[in-house]
Chain A
Amino acid sequence: AKYISQCIDEIKQELKQDNIAVKANAVCKLTYLQMLGYDISWAAFNIIEVMSASKFTFKRVGYLAASQCFHEGTDVIMLTTNQIRKDLSSPNQYDTGVALTGLSCFVTPDLARDLANDIMTLMSHTKPYIRKKAVLIMYKVFLKYPESLRPAFPRLKEKLEDPDPGVQSAAVNVICELARRNPKNYLSLAPLFFKLMTSSTNNWVLIKIIKLFGALTPLEPRLGKKLIEPLTNLIHSTSAMSLLYECVNTVIAVLISLSSGMPNHSASIQLCVQKLRILIEDSDQNLKYLGLLAMSKILKTHPKSVQSHKDLILQCLDDKDESIRLRALDLLYGMVSKKNLMEIVKKLMIHVDKAEGTTYRDELLTKIIDICSQSNYQYITNFEWYISILVELTRLEGTRHGHLIAAQMLDVAIRVKAIRKFAVSQMAMLLDNAHLIASNTQRNGICEVLYAAAWICGEFSEHLEELNQTLEAMLKPKVTTLPGHIQAVYVQNMVKLYASILQQKEQAGEKEAAQEITQLMIDRLPQFVQSADLEVQERASCILQLIKYIQKLQTKEVPVAEEVIALFAGELNPVAPKAQKKVPVPEGLDLDAWINEPPSDSESEDEKPKTIFHDEEQRHSKHRPPEIDEEELARRREARKQEQANNPFYIKSSPSPQKRYQDTPGVEHIPVVQIDLSVPLKVPGMPMSDQYVKLEEERRHKQKLEKDKKKKKQKKEKKGKHRRHNSLHTESEEDIAPAHHVDIITEEMPENALPSDEDDKDPNDPYKALDVDLDKPLADSEKLPVQRHRNAENLKSPDTEAPLVEKKSKKPKKKEKKHKEREKEKKKEREKKKKKSSKHRKKKHKKEKEEKSKDKKKSKKKQHHSEEETAESVQNGTLDDEPLPPMSSYCLLAENSYIKMTYDIQGNLQHDSQVTVSVIFENKSTSFLKSMELNVLDSLNTKMLRPEGSSVHDGIPVPFQLPPGVSSEAQFVFTLQSIVMAQKLKGTLSFIVKNDEGSTHEKLDFKLHFSCASYLITTPCYSDAFARLLESGDLHMSSIKVDGISISFQHLLAKICFYHHFSVVERVDSCASMYSRSIQGHHVCLLVKKGENSVSVDGKCNDSTLLSNLLDEMKETLSKC
């Protein structure tokens, strides 16, 4: 970021300069930075400046930058109008082209309005290159400025028959896109397109046309009929999958729109399905996916033809790709029937077991439940099977959909009476094994099913065989680790179980057993009383008190079971789904999916209240209140108070039980009221809930007084009978029933009915929102074509067209004037600047030099910096896996029988115009070599650094003597001015050979070759910095190619690194980018690519000469490989 901000500062500097080339470079850099996500909107004006450059190179960059970063909000965009117009009418077709391309990206309504006419003239340009672009950009113009369609359309139509295929396809593209938004205005073009379709061989165009027809056919059924044949022909003949897919898609669309009047309708569907089968069977995942996608479209209208491919789709479930599996699942959802449901679900269950990844498994789980529960369990023939499937699903580990399963369990158990017994036994099993479920998935939610299990067991405890066992399972200490809301349900349902056990025992006369069970409750409940969850605590402490009281009664040998049972009297009735649906949904309820479900059997609901009513009615009619025992009465009152204390909690309990209970007491209330007052019609007048509570108290009180055991038994039997009876028939008994029924509705509904209406609306709301969403894009585009349509009609009378065009051309003129004025001002400013600049040119030169030196310093700093940071990338070049051949950078300088000289040249990092030449002197003779002196003939550019005071012709003494066979190294410093060219210096080494025979004076001439590579210093570079460098655009480009290279890429890179002092920045397969820097701060970037037998090297460098010389050297190195 620091680097970037530095770069941006540099760019800002560059933008301030007058030189357009520098500016273009700066803009180019900005374009790259924009891609990296930096905001460059501040430079918009500079971009426009570059756009208006006269040279194509800069213009191109300018337009590129504009197309990347301009959008409708860019305020300077209006300044471009004139420039673009100028470019559009440029004699150079590429100027025009680049302007059109740029414009296509940032066209605004204003630009579209102002330039529409210019573009239209371009549509009949002589060059197809321009025509093509002009036609395409018209689409953008139409979108921004709909009014232009009217005048432009006939010309666009002409272009459909343009001799140049490119223009033609462009025209097809544009019209297809237009037609897709609003097909009905383009019906008249159908014959023309039909001709094109049958004649064209260009698949790209064909696809567009076919898509267009797909949009047209819903409006014109005759077209569909006509289309089927050529389309089926295409399906048969084409080898291009994309075309095939498009055809199939269109055929499907056509067939859907045709409803069913077609003769060969099923044949073509069959063909489509067959072809799709081929797609799905293909090994290409993409085709498979699309095949399934298209299949699901067919499924909606022709489920039968798809169903025969069930096997294939089931196969797709095994696919590796999750998205394909999900598509297949979608298809399956639509494919189930009563017959195959069990089979499909069985397969899915197998997949659930196999599936890896919880997301997919969860998806499978929800799909299974969706599939089974769709349209109200329509396809389920055996609910026992379904319950066991649900139970099996609970064994899944780590699923998030515990609540979903729970909801299904509750739903099925409540709505399907026949299954209750089975369900209860399964749930009891679940409760027994609760530790399995609760232990490993506590945080996730499969334990939600315990919620359902507990509730079902409690609610339908009459079906339970092993009451005690279940109760004990629920009282296990482990239960306290469950989430609070589940514990709450546990506590509540324990009491239900307890009540039924109590009743059982008392009926059987096993008082001790009953007391035992009471004791058990008292023993175990305290663990819940200590719960941290308020709800659990509250319920538990309440119930504990109640049970303690019961215990007291029990010790007095008072039969209590009836009263306890009475606590839950209402809940024994089935609650119809509708009743639940009508209950207002508490906020944040997670079960609303279930609640919103449409009710299956409305009768059952109607019956239920009646049954209660009948029960009560009969009870009351048969049993008149007995005399009241005062003592008994008092005691009962106590009990009642307990109940009442209990009741509020009951209602407040966790969401879903609440609904049920709220409902049931409500249902109970009314009959009682009616009976007590025996004036049903009064009831509507007193629906206050407080009153109900009072009435309820009275009723219960009375009931308790009235009832004694035996009678109640009878009632119970009758109750049961009635219930069954009623479920078979609708009302047949007493006349009052309907009246009460009505009452119930008018009384009970007001509270609930409203929310239920809201419930109905709820699911609609998203749809409504969706409708709007769908409409919006349409509406936008619809408006335009509607106008266009009218326009197109108007066009037939040419009179209307001309004035329009005129108007348009007038408007821009005004603007033009403004622009011209502005431009004039600008020009003046520029001229002034130019004058100034010519005056100060000399000064500037100096400044530039200063800047340069600054730059150098900067870059040095950078260099150091990067060296520290990029230790890794330094290694890139050297850290090679393969063993590399030994390489030496020392090469032969000269050799004779006495001495051999090898040398290496190293750039001097500290000094930008010095290199160090290391020469190794090796004594090959048996003589002693001494007084060696090295001298070179300096060139203008390259000079040997001699000690001060010595003349240019003096040699430099080698600071050592060489005994026989010994070698030693000496270093000489050379100064250079320019480093862009290789240099050769002639030189001589003079020395004295001293041996036994005496001493001789010898000379050895040599040529010191300063290659360009020797001016380079291996410098590591980060790939980011490298990329930024490249985009800076300061660099010259050149490239070479060398054939016949057999060594591995690895070696090749190593050679370049070694001999030419480069470092590898990044390597991808057989392609690598490399970097180096010269001692004078030139950046050299290479892109090395290896072909089969060749290597190409692209280079970029600040200096083109340096680069070409470097590349030549490299070529030489490489050609030796």
Chain B
Amino acid sequence: MRFMLLFSRQGKLRLQKWYLATSDKEKKKMVRELMQVVLARKPKMCSFLEWRDLKVVYKRYASLYFCCAIEGQDNELITLELIHRYVELLDKYFGSVCELDIIFNFEKAYFILDEFLMGGEIQDTSKKSVLKAIEQADLLQEEDESPRSVLEEMGLA
């Protein structure tokens, strides 16, 4: 997979992940172009399109478009499946996820994605293990955090 984008119906980017290092300028151009193409499509249309030399697989969940660019030989259906899996993960983690969740906790959404995909390849196909990893990392973070906030309060007091 080349990259993954999440953007809203209004064309606002919510999340982007590039698996090939790309310059900012190029990224911006591609994002803009792709958003135009995808947003112009009607709901009844199928989820695949050929764009530049890539295949684009997108799916709309509520007001969010999940959009992946894959190479010619990749399987479209599995990519669709992958998007769905990611949504499931988000859903499990946030509890009935919605766009605002992803704005609200954008770093978490990135962490989940990183835990699920790495370098554009699926890292773990099991939902459970991904969530477990995230939860543990979160725990670690909270452990980190709690002493800090106490210290801060002390400092403030």
* A residues neighboring B (CB under 8 Å): 21, 28, 31-32, 34-37, 39, 41, 55-57, 60-61, 64, 67-73, 92, 94, 97-98, 100-101, 104-106, 108, 129, 132-133, 136-137, 139-140, 165-166, 169-170, 173-174, 177, 180, 202, 204-205, 207, 211, 241-242, 245-246, 249, 285-290, 320-324, 1027, 1030-1031, 1036, 1066, 1068-1069, 1071-1073, 1085, 1087, 1089, 1091, 1096, 1098, 1100, 1104
Contacts and interface: CB of A to CB of B under 8 A. Distances in A.
A137 B95 contact: no
A1089 B144 contact: no
A321 B46 contact: yes
Contact of B144 (A57, A246, A1036): A57
Interface string B103-145: 1101100110011001101111110010001001100110011
Contacts of A169: 122, 124-125
Given A61-B107, A1030-B103, A100 B118 contact: yes
Contact of A92 (B28, B122, B140): B140
B63 A101 contact: no
A1066 B8 CA distance: 13
Interface in B33-73: 42, 44-49, 62-63, 73
A1089 B102 CA distance: 13
A1069 to B, nearest CB: 7
A140 B119 contact: yes
B100 A41 contact: no
Interface in B85-112: 95-96, 98-101, 103-104, 106-107, 110-111
Contacts of B137: 56, 60, 94, 97-98
A241 B84 CA distance: 14
Contacts of B95: 1089, 1091, 1096
A57 B81 contact: no
Contacts of A92: 140
A1072 B100 contact: yes
A52 to B, nearest CB: 15
Contact of A286 (B24, B48, B106): B48
A32 B107 CA distance: 9
Contacts of B76: 245, 286, 290
B36 to A, nearest CB: 15
A131 B16 CA distance: 26
A64 B48 CA distance: 29
B120 to A, nearest CB: 9
Given A169-B122, A285-B44, A321-B45, A1087 B144 contact: no
Nearest to A321: B45
Contacts of A1031: 106
A60 B111 contact: yes
Contacts of B115: 101
Contacts of A67: 114
B106 to A, nearest CB: 6
Contact of A55 (B17, B73, B114, B144): B144
7 contacts: A21-B148, A56-B140, A101-B115, A204-B78, A286-B80, A287-B77, A1098-B104
Given A21-B148, A71-B21, 11 more contacts: A41-B24, A71-B22, A133-B123, A136-B118, A173-B122, A246-B75, A249-B75, A290-B48, A320-B45, A1066-B100, A1068-B100
B38 to A, nearest CB: 12
Contacts of A1068: 62-63, 98-100
Contact of A136 (B13, B18, B119, B141): B119
B140 A94 contact: yes
A285 B46 contact: yes
Given A204-B78, A211-B73, A39 B24 contact: yes
Contacts of A104: 19, 118-119
A35 B104 CA distance: 14
A323 B37 CA distance: 13
Chain A: interface secondary structure?
helix
A71 B148 CA distance: 33
Contacts of B16: 35, 68
Contacts of A137: 118-119
B121 A139 contact: yes
A34 B17 CA distance: 12
B21 A70 contact: yes
Contacts of A70: 21
Contacts of A173: 121-122
Contact of B107 (A64, A108, A180, A1087): A64
Contact of B124 (A69, A132, A245): A132
A241 B98 contact: no
B78 A289 contact: no
B88 to A, nearest CB: 14
Nearest to A1071: B98
A751 to B, nearest CB: 41
Contacts of B140: 56, 92, 94
B104 A174 contact: no
Contacts of B15: 35
A28 B45 CA distance: 37
A1096 B96 CA distance: 11
A1073 B100 contact: yes
A105 B114 CA distance: 10
Contacts of A1036: 149
Contact of A129 (B17, B73, B98, B133): B133
A1071 B100 contact: yes
Q: Give the residue among B45, B99, B148 with the most A Cβ atoms within 10 A.
A: B45
The 9 closest A-B pairs by CB, nearest first: A242-B77, A71-B21, A285-B46, A104-B119, A289-B46, A1071-B98, A321-B45, A101-B114, A204-B125
Contacts of B106: 32, 35, 1030-1031
Nearest to B64: A1068
A422 B130 CA distance: 73
B147 to A, nearest CB: 10
A177 B1 CA distance: 11
A64 B75 contact: no
A778 to B, nearest CB: 12
A37 B25 CA distance: 9
Output the residue of B45, B46, B111 with the most chain A CB within 10 A.
Answer: B46
A1096 B47 CA distance: 33
A289 B45 CA distance: 10
Nearest to A202: B125
B78 to A, nearest CB: 5
Which of B63, B126, B140 has the most chain A CB atoms inside 10 A of its CB?
Answer: B140
Nearest to B149: A1104
Given A35-B15, A60-B137, A1071-B98, A28 B107 contact: yes
A1029 B106 CA distance: 12
A226 B47 CA distance: 34
Contact of A73 (B23, B81, B148, B149): B23
A165 B124 CA distance: 9
A204 B117 CA distance: 13
Contact of A105 (B18, B24, B77, B107): B18
Contact of A1091 (B22, B96, B99): B96
Given A35-B16, A211-B75, A1089-B98, A242 B81 contact: yes
Contacts of B122: 169, 173, 204
Nearest to A1031: B106
A177 B122 CA distance: 12
Nearest to A1027: B103
A166 B126 contact: yes
Contacts of B111: 60, 64
A425 B94 CA distance: 73
Contacts of B123: 132-133, 136, 166, 170
A177 B121 contact: yes
A73 B21 CA distance: 9
A242 B78 contact: yes
B104 A1030 contact: yes
A998 B141 CA distance: 71
A46 to B, nearest CB: 17
B124 A166 contact: yes
Nearest to B50: A323
